[in-house]
Amino acid sequence: MLRLRGAAQESFHQAAAQAAVSRFGRQVFVRGVVEISNYCRENCGYCGMRRANRGLDRYRANVDELAELLVHRRPRSVTDVSLQAGEDPRAVREVALPLIRILKRETSLGIIVCLGTLDPALYRELREAGAEVYILKFETSDPDDYERHEAPGTLAERVEHIRLLADEGWFVSSGFIVGLPGQSEERLLGNLGLAAELPLTGCSVSPFVPGTDTPLAGEPMADLDLTLNCMAALRLLQPDWIIPAVSALNLAGPGEVYGRGLRAGANLVTMNLTPRELREAYVLYRRERFIMTEDRILEAMAAENLAPCRQSLGDYLRHARIPVETSVAADG
């Protein structure tokens, strides 16, 4: 399955794409991401925002500026906003919480947060403020790999937090990295297995991109075909899940290959809404970023005969037991 190439791979991806269409129609969720802080107390070996990177200009975004952007100037196709940061509890309190309250009061946006492992009290505050979806990636299912790459805490702790979030009423999405240095096929398959065991509503598959300011800078890029095969496998294993086409796909292959993610069964796209003056300092991989704008998103979707869903992700997930014909499909 992971090694498929050529015509066999194309058939495999077509089956995954058809599984997505059968469940969600020809509509794709569209979210905007705003990167609210690049401070991070963790030291992940694969991330440019690791605390040991002393050459990075750190920032926490201004709440009023972000609110003005998201309330009055967000792209029309965006139904959800994802607030993302390094692991920075101060930014959660000073930026995320007040911004979420403004957005819930003044917009109909679904609110997604990707803010790392936090104290349970902060999870509850975010939930009470109006956030519904929490993204907490486990990155790798192998405890030794997890420790070697200095991912946050331990794998057991990360999984415990994923379960805690689900128990407290969050819709939880996770994710893993394909192509981490030293990753075997067995360990890669273990990622699919762990994802299936967790109480998730979605999962991302990200190609490993060697970050310039990380200990893994000299390692090879992940194989794009392997990454896409994992996406297709995840869709076929979990036809009801929300699976994003991540922007890093464009870094792992020549040209704009985002559409290949949609052809492998993805049903969520993300455009970057971070103010330009902050964007270059949010360095997951490299300072030279491939930014998915609304035009690029809509062009990629149109090329695959897909259209933006007008229903927010949170609203869909609250009614996920309703057949798609009367929920997502009827809404567009």
pLDDT in tens, 164-217: 999 999 999 999 999 999 999 999 999 999 999 999 999 999 999 999 889 999
Alpha-carbon distance of 205 to 11, in angstroms, equals 20
Does the pLDDT of residue 327 top 60, yes or no?
no
Q: Residue 320 has what pLDDT?
A: 76
Q: Residue 326 has what pLDDT?
A: 32
Classify 20 as helix, strand or coil.
helix
- Amino acid identity of residue 227, one-letter, is T
Average pLDDT estimate for 230-248: 96
Average pLDDT estimate for 142-171: 97
Q: How far from 52 is each of 116, 202, 214, CA to CA, in Å?
A: 17, 31, 9
Alpha-carbon distance of 277 to 234, in angstroms, equals 36
Q: pLDDT averaged over the chain?
A: 93
- What is the set of domains in the chain, with CATH numbers? 6-326 (3.20.20.70)
Structure letter (DSSP) for residue 133? E
Alpha-carbon distance of 148 to 215, in angstroms, equals 11
**For residue 60, how many other CB atoms are within 10 A of its CB?**
16
Q: Residue 191 has what pLDDT?
A: 98
Alpha-carbon distance of 314 to 210, in angstroms, equals 33
Q: How many CA atoms lie within 13 A of 177 on its CB side?
A: 28
Classify 112 as helix, strand or coil.
strand
Closest CA to 209 of 118, 309, 288, 311: 288
Residues sharing a CB contact under 8 Å with residue 80, sequence separation 6 or more, in sequence order: 29, 30, 31, 32, 109, 110, 111, 112, 133, 312, 313, 314
